[in-house]
Chains A and B, each alone.
Chain A
Amino acid sequence: MKPARVVVTGIGVASPLGLQLDELWRNVAAGAGAAREWPDLAEQGFRIRAASRIGSFEAPELRRGRELALHAARAAVEQSHATPPRNTGVFVGSTMGESAAFERAAEGAELDLEDFSVDSFTRALREAFDLGGPASSIATACAAGNYALGAALDALRAGRIDFALAGAAEPFSRLAMLGFSRSRAMAPDACRPFDRRRNGMQLGEGAAMFALERAEEAERRGVEPLAEVVALGLSCDAHHATAPLEDGSGMRRAMRTALEYAQVEPRCVDWINAHGSGTVRSDAAEARAIRELFDGNVPPVSGSKGALGHALGAASALEAALCIAGLRAGVVPPTFGHEVEDPDAGLRCEQRALEQPLDIALNNAFAFGGVNSCLVLRRWAN
C-alpha cells in the first residue's frame, strides 16, 4: 500500500532577506546577499564582524528564537487557511535554543537554562495555538529543520495527527559566532559555496515553519498544496566531532536512502539544494558525495548560505522553503558567492537563476557530529 501523500499548505519565514517567503524568494532569485559588517560585533571584540542578521526583527534578547518561530508559524498557519486542531503535531528544530540565555548565564544572570532550550520554542508554539498533540524538540544542529519535517511526515502518514506545524528557528548566537571563528571555520569576508576561493562559513539566523497535512485533507478543505514532502534520508558518519568523512560516503548514504524511500531514481532529480556551508572540507565532501551518487549526471546544484548566511538549526528549514518556492516557480536560484568552480571539488553551482521545469528537489543538510540528512520535495501535482 502506498504511503499517504503529505503536503505543505502554508509556509512562514523570518530571514535576513525577508520576513515573508515571497520577499525572501524574490531576493534570493535576484542574487541578493544579506551579509554585512555589524558595529556591535566590533565593539564586543569579535575579530570577524560580518554576519547575516535580521536587523528589522525586534524581540526580547532572551526570547528572540521563540519570537522568530512564532512569527514563522503564524504566517504558515495563515497561509494554510486552517484552524489547527487540538491534536496538531508540533515539531521544532534548533541548534542551541536561546543562545543569548546561555551567554547571559555565563555573565552571571540567574537563569534556569532548561527554560531556554530548543524545547522552549515547541512549548511556545503549542501555547500560542492551544495545541495538545504530539510534539518533538529536535536538537540536531544544522540538520534540525529537515528532521522536523521528517517527523511531521511520519506522524501524518501514520495517522497519529491530522495537521502539523514543523520547522526550525535559530536566533543569532554570539557564542556560535565566537566558536566558529576561533575554530577557523568562519570566512573573514564572504561565504563562497563550492568556490575555489572558499574559506569558511558566515553566520546567519532565522526561522521557517511549515503547515503540513495529508493531501486528501487539503483537498477536502479546498486548499491547493504548495509542495509535497516525500521522504527523509538520514545517516551518521560516526567519524569526528566536527569534520565530515572526507570521501562524503555518509552524506551520499543519506541522499541515496532518501531517494530509495521516495522511490525516485537519481536521474529523476531536477535540482539539489546543497548544504554548501562554504568550508573547505564540508563542501569538498558534499561535492564528492553528489558526483558519485549521480555518476556524472549531476542535476543543477545551488546553495543559499552565501546569500543568507548559515542559520544553523534553521538553515535546512529556510532552504526547504526556498526549494518549495523554486519548485513552484520553475527556477533554480543563483548561488550567491559561487564565482569560480573548484576544480578539485568538481561541482559547479548555478550562478544565474535557471528557469526549467522542476519536479523533484533534494534539500541537503549536514551537521556537526557527522549527522547527515536529505529531504526529498516534489512540486505539487494532483
Chain B
Amino acid sequence: MPGAEAMGELKLATPYARGALPALDEEATLDRLCAELAPLFAPPFDAERSSLAVVSSNAGARSAVEFWSQAQRVGLAVASPALFPWTLANAACGRLAREFGVRGPNYTFSGRAAALSSALQQLADDLHFARVTAGWIVAIDFAGPSRARTLFAALRAEEAHHVELVSTAANRRAHSRLCAAAQLRRLIPRSN
C-alpha cells in the first residue's frame, strides 16, 4: 500500500494511489481499476462505517452515448439493456462498493475541481461527526473524445490520518491534475 508521497505541490499523509488506464468501456475500466486499487482497500475496516465517493466529470457519459447510439442502430424495440446500468453516473461507485464490500455512505460527485472539494468536505464531515471511521475518494477521468486514457487517483482516510492539501497553480502533470488543479482544504479531524 502506498505510503506518504509528494507529488509536486501536493503532499499527502494518507494512503494514495494514482495511475492511467487504456481507453476501454466503463465496465472494463472499472474492472481494471478495481485491480489497481485493491491495495488501498486492504482490511481492516468496518464495512458499514466506511464511506466511498467517486468524483468524475464524465462517469456514465460514454455508456449513455453508446447505449442510445446502439438503440438508434438496431431499433428501440430490440435495444440491449445490458449497457443501461452503466449510463448512470453512480454506477462506478456502486461497482467499487461491491468489489471491496464498502457498505456505508456511497457518494458520487459530478464535476472537476469543485467536485473533489465537495468529496473532501463530505469525508471530513463524516469523520468529524463519527458517521464513518474510514473513507475513500476515487477521482476518475474516463477516456473519451478529448482524452486517450482514463486517469485516476484515490485516497484513503481514517480517523488517525489527516490529509493536508494545498492550493496549486496549474499543474500539467497528467496524474496529479486530477487532485492538484483545485482549491483544496485541510482535512483534519476536529476536536470539537
> Which residues of A are at the interface with B, using a C-beta cutoff of 8 A?
44-47, 94-97, 99, 102-103, 105-107, 113-114, 117-119, 122, 134-141, 147, 151, 154-155, 158, 174-176, 178-180, 182-184, 234-242, 250, 253, 261, 367-371
B136 within 8 A of A: no
B64: chain A residues at CB < 8 Å are 96, 99, 102, 106, 175
B48: chain A residues at CB < 8 Å are 235, 253
Output the least CB separation between A373 and chain B (Å). 9
> Which residues of B are at the interface with A, using a C-beta cutoff of 8 A?
47-48, 52, 57-61, 64-69, 71-72, 75-77, 79-81, 84-85, 87-91, 93-95, 97-98, 100-111, 114-115, 117-118, 121-122, 125, 129, 131
Output the least CB separation between A287 and chain B (Å). 21
- What CA separation (Å) do A105 and B163 show in the bound complex? 39
Most A-side CB within 10 Å, residue of B102, B105, B117: B105
Q: Are A96 and B104 CB-contacts (below 8 A) given A106-B69, A135-B118, A369-B93?
A: no
Q: Which residue of A lies closest to B59 (CB)?
A: A139
A239:B98 contact, CB within 8 angstroms: yes
Other A-B contacts than A113-B61, A118-B89, A182-B84, 10 sampled, CB-CB below 8 A, are A44-B76, A106-B64, A118-B110, A118-B111, A134-B121, A139-B60, A234-B104, A236-B97, A238-B47, A371-B94
B58:A103 contact, CB within 8 angstroms: no
A117:B72 contact, CB within 8 angstroms: no
- What CA separation (Å) do A151 and B67 show in the bound complex? 32
Q: Are A139 and B108 CB-contacts (below 8 A) given A106-B65, A368-B90?
A: yes
Point out the residue from B58, B91, B118, B129 that lies within 8 Å of A368, measured CB to CB.
Answer: B91
- What CA separation (Å) do A261 and B126 show in the bound complex? 12
- What CA separation (Å) do A182 and B91 show in the bound complex? 18
B93: chain A residues at CB < 8 Å are 369
Closest 6 CB pairs of A and B: A369-B94, A179-B84, A139-B89, A106-B68, A236-B106, A118-B110
- What CA separation (Å) do A238 and B101 show in the bound complex? 6
Q: Are A367 and B90 CB-contacts (below 8 A) given A47-B77, A139-B108, A235-B105?
A: yes
Q: Are A154 and B125 CB-contacts (below 8 A) given A179-B87, A368-B94, A369-B94?
A: yes
Q: Which residue of A lies closest to B106 (CB)?
A: A236
A242:B85 contact, CB within 8 angstroms: yes
**Chain A to chain B contacts (Cβ below 8 Å), 26 pairs:** A45-B77, A95-B89, A102-B65, A106-B72, A113-B61, A119-B110, A137-B111, A137-B118, A138-B110, A139-B59, A139-B90, A154-B129, A158-B125, A178-B79, A179-B81, A183-B84, A235-B106, A236-B103, A238-B97, A241-B91, A261-B131, A367-B90, A368-B85, A369-B91, A369-B93, A370-B97
Q: Are A236 and B104 CB-contacts (below 8 A) given A114-B58, A182-B81, A183-B81?
A: yes
B58: chain A residues at CB < 8 Å are 113-114, 117
- What CA separation (Å) do A235 and B106 show in the bound complex? 7
- What CA separation (Å) do A288 and B147 show in the bound complex? 46
- What CA separation (Å) do A47 and B108 show in the bound complex? 32
Output the least CB separation between A345 and chain B (Å). 24
Q: Which residue of A lies closest to B52 (CB)?
A: A236
- What CA separation (Å) do A235 and B81 show in the bound complex? 26
Q: Which residue of A lies closest to B128 (CB)?
A: A158
A47: chain B residues at CB < 8 Å are 76-77
B131: chain A residues at CB < 8 Å are 261
A94: chain B residues at CB < 8 Å are 110
Output the least CB separation between B104 and chain A (Å). 7
Output the least CB separation between A12 and chain B (Å). 22
A242: chain B residues at CB < 8 Å are 85
- What CA separation (Å) do A240 and B91 show in the bound complex? 10
B104:A136 contact, CB within 8 angstroms: no
- What CA separation (Å) do A259 and B189 show in the bound complex? 24
A95: chain B residues at CB < 8 Å are 88-90
- What CA separation (Å) do A103 and B63 show in the bound complex? 11
Q: Which residue of A lies closest to B146 (CB)?
A: A112
A139:B109 contact, CB within 8 angstroms: yes
B71:A178 contact, CB within 8 angstroms: yes
B105: chain A residues at CB < 8 Å are 234-236
Point out the residue from A140, A179, A240 that lies within 8 Å of B108, measured CB to CB.
Answer: A140
Most B-side CB within 10 Å, residue of A96, A117, A155: A117
Output the least CB separation between B72 and chain A (Å). 6
Output the least CB separation between A139 and chain B (Å). 4
- What CA separation (Å) do A136 and B121 show in the bound complex? 10
Q: Are A135 and B85 CB-contacts (below 8 A) given A107-B72, A178-B71?
A: no
Point out the residue from A45, A119, A235 that lies within 8 Å of B111, measured CB to CB.
Answer: A119
B106:A369 contact, CB within 8 angstroms: yes
B106:A234 contact, CB within 8 angstroms: yes
A96:B118 contact, CB within 8 angstroms: no
Output the least CB separation between A59 and chain B (Å). 20
Point out the residue from A140, A141, A238, A368 that lies within 8 Å of B102, measured CB to CB.
Answer: A238
- What CA separation (Å) do A96 and B61 show in the bound complex? 9
Output the least CB separation between A272 and chain B (Å). 21
Point out the residue from B47, B85, B102, B111 that lies within 8 Å of A241, measured CB to CB.
Answer: B85
A367: chain B residues at CB < 8 Å are 90
- What CA separation (Å) do A3 and B131 show in the bound complex? 14
B57:A114 contact, CB within 8 angstroms: yes
